[in-house]
Amino acid sequence: MKLKKKKTILLLEDGTIFKGWSYNNTFTCFGEVVFNTGMSGYQEIITDPSYYGQLTILTYPEIGNTGFNIEDNESNGLKSFSLIIKNFCLFASNWRMKICMFDYLNYFKLPVMFGMDTRSLTKYLRDKGSMNGCISNEQFKIEDLYKQLKNKPSMKGLNLIKYLETNKKYRWKNLGETILDNNKTYYYSNNIKSQSYKYKDETKLAKFIILDFGTKFNILRSLSDQNCTVKVFNHTYKIEDIKLEEHDGVILSNGPGDPLVLEKEINLIKELIKLKKLIFGICLGHQLLNIALGGKTFKMKFGHRAINHPCGLDIKVKITSQNHGFSVEDKSINKELIQINNLNLNDHTIAAISHKELPIFSIQYHPEGAPGPHDNHYIFEKFVNIARLSQIKNKYINI
């Protein structure tokens, strides 16, 4: 099949124009233009709900070489609004692939702009900061596009989790089959288990609830691999519903958008804190938990999106996978109650905290990040072990 390239432009909200190509049918799309500097993981990136509403730049030049498979999706569909890459590999080769990237993205009609210097664009955004943009292969009247672009809301102040299509409630199982029980509880499945810690004592199964703000499937896989029962609750659930569910702890998931505008979700987390049960926040969940504890968040200049961010304190460093555009404000943290356990060593933003009196902790990075470093898989092990203890011995959880 002979493909026809179409001229395509990227217009940034400051008026800057970048030119490239696309194979798509006619499209015009808008979103926040962000970049990810990872060398792998394009399938996980564009299916990660945290990328909802964003036009995603990948700085690694060759994209599509390994195709797509069934097991590596991080959600039940594409979440990024567009992909901006340099070289579009049309002929993939990998023993795990089920379909080539072009066929997959073409089927789901994801706009892809290619043939441009993505590293030059990334340097520009690092200097100017992330901003809204428009990609089009059908409209080339800059004035008209610019008017449309200026009417689009900025990421700051935007509630995006309400647009994610999440089930009301489902249980995750690694069974290789999909089940629907009499209570209409949905069972998602995955027949490939990740390499993770295993527990000798399988009689004490921990039961967890995940509040879904846009959760990645690999969080569910990682917990399931620890012999845990994992139930996922939509973010619209109320505290009364959670109280009725038998559980050993609650995980606050990742997700897109500005955490400060999620007032209902913040109030729900405040009610959870009053229960004095184990709580673990990841990424957006980390931000929401800190707001519920009295902190504040701020919009970052260009965010953290990569699989090589160093985090730690003093001389102990671990490499982390990250994807976020907001961060917890250090000055807003009550240091008498909150212990800061990790900083991002690139810019010293807060990367991990724990409560000094309650079994509560959170991290800004992704311990389940796949592909990415495995330095932080132990966090799920520690979380499950704490849940299995009848009494929390330490004053706070240092991760």
- Tell me whether residue 156 is in a domain: no
Angle at which helices 284-292 and 263-274 cross, to 10°: 70
Alpha helices by DSSP H, the chain: 42-46, 101-107, 118-128, 142-150, 217-224, 239-244, 263-274, 284-292, 378-388
CATH number at residue 75: 3.50.30.20
- Tell me whether residue 145 is in a domain: yes
Whether the upstream peptide bond of residue 49 has omega within 30° of 0, thus cis, is: no
- Tell me whether residue 106 is in a domain: yes
Q: Identify whether residues 129 and 234 lie together within a single domain.
A: no
Rg over alpha carbons for the chain, rounded to the nearest Å, is 21
Task: Specify the 3-state DSSP secondary structure of 204.
Answer: coil
Q: Identify whether residues 258 and 344 lie together within a single domain.
A: yes
Domain boundary (150, 169, 191) is at 150
Q: Identify whether residues 101 and 196 lie together within a single domain.
A: no
Task: Specify the 3-state DSSP secondary structure of 145.
Answer: helix
Q: What residues make up the domain containing 192?
A: 161-388
Domain boundary (124, 150, 176) is at 150
- Tell me whether residue 155 is in a domain: no
Q: Identify whether residues 207 and 139 lie together within a single domain.
A: no
- pLDDT at residue 173, rounded to an integer: 67
User: How many domains is the chain partitioned into structurally?
Assistant: 2
- Tell me whether residue 233 is in a domain: yes
Residue 366 designated active-site: yes
- pLDDT at residue 186, rounded to an integer: 34
Strands 278-282 and 249-252, bridge-based pairing: parallel
Q: Identify whether residues 72 and 181 lie together within a single domain.
A: no
Place of tokens 């807060």: 350
- pLDDT at residue 2, rounded to an integer: 74
- pLDDT at residue 1, rounded to an integer: 58
Q: Identify whether residues 170 and 143 lie together within a single domain.
A: no
Q: Identify whether residues 224 and 351 lie together within a single domain.
A: yes
- Tell me whether residue 393 is in a domain: no
Q: Identify whether residues 124 and 16 lie together within a single domain.
A: yes
**Token duo for residue 11:** 């217009």
Beta bridge pairs of residue 366: 321
Q: Identify whether residues 123 and 220 lie together within a single domain.
A: no
- pLDDT at residue 198, rounded to an integer: 38
Among residues 265, 324, 368, 377, the one annotated as catalytic is 368
- pLDDT at residue 92, rounded to an integer: 92
- Tell me whether residue 395 is in a domain: no
Q: Identify whether residues 134 and 184 lie together within a single domain.
A: no
Q: Identify whether residues 208 and 295 lie together within a single domain.
A: yes
Among residues 100, 134, 228, 283, the one annotated as catalytic is 283
- pLDDT at residue 399, rounded to an integer: 63
Residue 89 designated active-site: no
- pLDDT at residue 204, rounded to an integer: 58
pLDDT tens, the chain, 399 aa long: 578 999 999 999 999 999 999 999 999 999 999 999 999 999 999 999 999 999 999 999 999 999 999 889 999 889 999 999 999 999 899 999 999 999 999 999 999 999 999 999 999 999 999 999 999 999 999 999 999 999 999 999 999 999 986 777 788 865 433 322 333 333 333 333 333 333 344 445 788 999 999 999 999 999 988 888 899 998 888 899 898 888 899 999 999 999 999 999 999 999 999 999 899 999 999 999 999 999 999 999 999 999 999 999 978 899 999 999 999 999 999 999 999 999 999 999 999 999 999 999 999 999 998 888 888 989 998 899 888 874 344 445 566
**Token duo for residue 123:** 């340097």
Q: Identify whether residues 207 and 337 lie together within a single domain.
A: yes
Give the C-alpha distances (Å, rounded to integers) separating 84 from 111, 172, 247, 284, 388. 9, 33, 42, 24, 45
Domain boundary (150, 185, 215) is at 150
CATH number at residue 191: 3.40.50.880
- Tell me whether residue 397 is in a domain: no
